[in-house]
Structure 1
Amino acid sequence: MEKILREYKKIPSLLKLYLILILLIRIFLLTQPSFKIDMNDWQAWAARLVDVGPLKFYTSNFFADYLPFYYLFLWVIAEIFSFIFGKAAIFSTTFEIYIKIISNIFDILTAYTIFVIINKHSKKWATIGSLLYLINPSIIFNSSVWGQIDAIPTFLLTFSLYQLEEKKNIVRSLSASVLSFLIKPLNIALFPLMLFRIIKNFSAQKILKASGISLLMFFIVTIPFFPNNPIFGPFEHLLKSLNVYPYTSINAYNFWALFGWWKQDSLQVFNLSYHLWGYILFFLIVLTIFIPLFRKKSKSFIKLDYLIYTILSFAFFLFLTRIHERHLFPVFALLIISACIFKSRVLIASYITLAIVNFINLFYSYYYHNVIYNNPMAPKNILFDISSNYQLIFSVLSLIVFSIMLVVYFKNQRLFIKKK
């Protein structure tokens, strides 16, 4: 904490003013209406956890499609809130703001982690990167208006990579990865490279020790919810949750949106379902990225690793089916790290483009479900009209940005090989 305060005192006055302005914007937006569907879930889950605790939380007649660590976290903060304000207040606007504040805190923690990672290469770019993350309209909207909790697993994901790549602390890295997975399993997209680096850079003894500690942490989180089946229970629940939305693109501007949203992913092309094609496309991207890594007889290039993580996470969003618009969230932290480490204006432009596109994407879902769904005759919003009428253009734009990332990656692969 003292180190953070010392660093804060070194920040120029103008930059402090800029940070305060960002904070004030986020605070003001906390009072805006939340995304009703998600916030209703948070409140219902929080109330149930206060009533019955984790042991009886998961039942066949109660909808709860998240994994255990979020519920464990929600249980703790709900107990604190209900102790102060009373259980009935869980269904109040105060609780909504409470949830949003927590998400914003994790956004700040992620921004600080981004700063620490980039600072090793350039303090100027570290400042730029962390500020661009904090002012990202998509991230602000997600945490301060929508009321989603993507900020929590994204911080854990970023912290995990920091520990693996910078600190070489495999125990902390795997532990954070487990916790991130047990909220939202989006970080599974990064596992191929993480596994590759772990095997290459750590001894078998260290890997076994870290795996054991991570497994213990997994059980600590899951046993309260699945006392009779702590190993397979969470995965069975995950598979069940994945089948809640058996569609191609769930309002996401990705590859599948080119063919329209909400298409059954059981439909087939060449005797293979769209769902399977999504995995095939993602696997091909992974294979394409990994071929140069296997050819090179060199140690880890951290600069390239962050770009690979970005590409993997973005490919997960673009090509897998059953993807929501919010699933792009982790890409922003990874992309801004890559852009600032490389000092790449092209990647910075890609980051800004994606931030705007995803903000428009989020607004479509937010406005449609909060306003249009229950009142089709409600006055249309200009931003809503843009988001719904130009779905194809925004999806193509996302694919173009992805192609640019691939070009930057392979260009830098050649440069590293030449330097070697």
Structure 2
Amino acid sequence: MRAKSNPTNFSNKEPQQNNGKRQNNNTQQHNGKQPQMNKSFGNTSNKYAPVLTVYFVLFLILFIIMYRLFINKKLKISHINKKLSIALLLCIGVFIRISLSTVMEGYSGDMMLFNNWASSAAKDFAHFYSSANSSDYPPLYIYVLFLIGKLTSISGLSSYYSILLKLPSIIADIGTAYLIYRLAKKYISVESGLLLSVFYIFNPAVFIDSTLWGQVDSFFALLIVLSVFLICEGKTVFSAVLFTCAVLMKPQGIIFLPVLLFEIIRRRNIGLFIKCLISAIATAVVVILPFSSGQNILWIFKLYAKTISEYPYASINGFNFYSLIGANYEQSSNTFFIFSYGTWGIIAITAITLLSLYIYIKNKNKAFAFAAALVQIAGVFTFSTGMHERYLFPALVLSILSYVYLKDKRFFTLCIGYSITIYANIYYVLFGNSGVMNSNSHSILSDGISFLNIILLIYLIKILIDITKKNKLLNLERIE
């Protein structure tokens, strides 16, 4: 989701209202022609792009070396104060992100739109969706923007609105890193927790989205991670609450809902299903009700329908199968080999979900919840339609936590792979001077990253099938 406004330099003034219509920088249509991409994001931000890429390459090289030394027991960190170390790492992570936020104000269209929504929510929260400047975002994140709007209305804080808009995602980055530390400490070792936290905190594939772009995918990813974590802890009803919150923040939350259903199916408990359903409905009512004054009873469904219908394309700058075959911004209703792109997308979602269910049920273990969630997002991003460049973002933390729970070192290869593809895809759109991006546009980078995402998905499936076969053999040995 993105605004159709040209990159601009920000002032402390409230941005233009744009007649209440949400627009998209990369999906503008001009007299039926293909959508066009702005030729630059802005000189202020572009000059830092090469430095960021150099840092990313050095980061990956250094971390791979550290990881190899660590698993070969040539790198020991047993003599340091663990609690002090994680606290210091988290503080450095916050400091770096705040500092970068002052250097780059973010993707101007999105930042202007978030600022506008925050101001509108702070002025008239209850009538936010019925106002002329209504949002096409679902309601949950509007609560956060409401708080930011109230803070920016304070005279001393008004000039820091850019940092305040990014702060929830920055906090989510740090919260996710700390959760990684705690889980890795519990299931592997303290040293592994520190190492994996470092990987997440200082990974440019993470902060390019939250800190440089200014998007909210980190906040969304944290909701997903906490939802799946609660499944692993056996707290399925509470997981249903957070999954509902994720869907109420972004429609993409629906991609992960099957994981909750897998656990309910695994436990074969109709009472649990009813409890989860009631909890989900109650959560939805609580979140939606404050915005419902004077609205049609079906307003929330119309909002989701409108949001989904805004992007009727095979791919929207998402480097996946459709981008690889030249279908970026191709209408999803167009035919590709018998069926439309949209139909192929539905077939892909169905196949991916059935595969995830098979792996989850076959292993009979809730520890596979993170891996199932990873299959869902990686598979849907790679082979479903309507994918933006940022939608793969949760795959990075899900691959890390799949490694933690299943202890298969091949997941770390996926961590590296998804760091590369997520970073490259976001970088290409955020900093790229690519001119026109349409159904015929190709580049070595876009095709290479698209192909790599397909390879990573195949590799992920192979890993899980291998683990499933191994567990089956172990079970047979126990029976014998």
Considering the TM-score relative to the shorter chain, is it more than 0.5?
yes
Q: 1:349 to 1:45 in 2, by over 3 A?
A: same
Matches within 5 A, 1:206-245: 206-227=272-293, 232-245=298-311
Match of 2:365 in 1: 300
Work out which of the residue numbers 110, 113, 121 in structure 2 matches 1:49: 121
**2:422 pairs with one of 355, 358, 374:** 358
Change (3 A) 1:153 1:12: closer
> How many Å separate the matches in 1 of 2:265 and 2:117?
39
In structure 1, stretches of 5+ residues that fail to align are 1-8, 377-386
Amino acid at match of 2:453: S
Letter in 2 for 1:399: I
Alignment correspondent of 1:105: 171
Corresponding residue for residue 145 of structure 1: 212
Is 1:284 the equivalent of 2:351? yes
Structure 2 unaligned runs (5+)? Answer: 1-79, 437-441, 476-480
**Partner letter of residue 335 of structure 2?**
Q
Q: 1:81 offset after TM fit, Å?
A: 2.9
AA partner of residue 143 (structure 1):
S
Paired residues for 1:76-87 under 5 Å = 76-83=147-154, 85=156
Q: Distance in 1 between matches of 2:280 and 2:130?
A: 23
Distance 1:46 1:175 in 2: 25
> Number of residue pairs matched?
388
State the shift of 1:25 in Å: 2.6
Correspondences of 1:101-140 after superposition (within 5 Å): 101-123=167-189, 124-140=191-207
Deviations 1:357-376 (A, max 9, x none): 221211221124xx777xx9
Q: Matches of 1:210 and 1:10 in 2, distance apart?
A: 41
How big is the shift at 1:153? Answer: 1.6
Q: Does 1:193 align with 2:193?
A: no
d(CA) in 2 for partners of 1:273, 1:259: 14
Say whether the 8 Å CA contact 2:130–2:295 is kept in structure 1: no
Q: Which has the higher helix share?
A: 1
The structure 2 residue matched to 1:412, chosen from 451, 456, 467, is 467
**In structure 1, distance between residues paired with 2:404 and 2:287:** 35
Secondary structure, counterpart of 1:390 in structure 2: helix
- 8 Å contact 1:49–1:75 — kept in the other structure? yes
CA apart distance, 1:66: 0.7
**Residue 382 of structure 1 aligns with which residue?**
none
Compare 344-353 and 19-28 and name the one that shifted more: 19-28
State the partner residue of 2:389.
325
Matches within 5 A, 1:338-377: 338-368=402-432
Of 126, 141, 145, the residue aligned with 1:70 is 141
Q: Residues 34 and 300 of structure 1: is their aligned pair in 2 closer, same or farther, counting only changes over 3 Å? A: same
User: Taking every aligned residue pair, what percent have the same amino acid on both sides?
Assistant: 27
Inter-partner Cα distance in structure 2 for 1:67 and 1:259: 32
Name the SS of the counterpart of 1:55 in structure 2. Answer: coil
TM-score of the two chains, using structure 1 as the length reference: 0.84
Does the CA contact (< 8 Å) of 1:222 and 1:230 recur in 2? no
Distance 1:83 1:12, change over 3 A: closer
Shift of 1:132: 1.6
- Tell me, in whole angstroms, the C-alpha distance in 1 between the residues paired with 2:364 and 2:296: 38
SS at match of 1:236: helix
Question: Is 1:204 paired with 2:270?
Answer: yes
Answer yes or no: is 1:39 the counterpart of 2:94.
Answer: no
On the 8 A contact 1:170/1:207 being kept in 2, the answer is no
Counterpart residue identity of residue 364, structure 2: K
Q: 1:163 — aligned with what?
A: 230
Show CA shifts across 1:254-295 (max 9, x none).
11111232111111124422012111012112223333555x
The 1:17/1:179 distance shift into structure 2, 3 A limit, reads closer
Instruction: Give me the TM-score of the superposition, normalised by structure 2.
Output: 0.74
Asked if 2 retains the 8 angstrom alpha-carbon contact of 1:99 and 1:147, the reply is yes
